[in-house]
Amino acid sequence: MVKKYETGEKLTGKVTGIQPYGAFVALDEQTQGLVHISEITYGFVKDIHDYISVGDEVEVKVLEIDAEEKKISLSIRALQEPPTRKNEYMKKSLQAHVKERDAEGFSSLKEKLQDWIDQSGQ
């Protein structure tokens, strides 16, 4: 490592490679770190290419430094605004509301079904 990096430090690096498990980011001419797939963004990431590409400049935060192994763990997600609980609550609330309406709709169909059967037999 040319420069001494510290845990918690915010840096700008360049994406040099992407693997299914994470992205390699060059911090200087001789130092690279890894952004694990779970540290790309909040939520599930199926394909890293949907978020970053080789050659992109990205803001990262140093999570961990293993000087013995010469490995640096980085995160892009740590510098992002976490999703708000309010949005999650609203989504669940809307889903519950829709389910209640669906149940009412099916109940009214169930009640009318016998009338329709009776009418079709006449």
pLDDT digits 0-9 by tens, 65-113: 998 888 999 999 999 998 876 655 556 555 555 555 555 555 677 777 7
DSSP for the chain, please give it.
--S---TT-EEEEEEEEEETTEEEEESSSS-EEEEEGGGSSSS--S-GGGT--TT-EEEEEEEEEETTTTEEEEESGGGSPPPPHHHHHHHHHHHHHHHHHHHHHHHHHHHHHHHHHHHHT-
Q: What is the pTM of this model?
A: 0.67
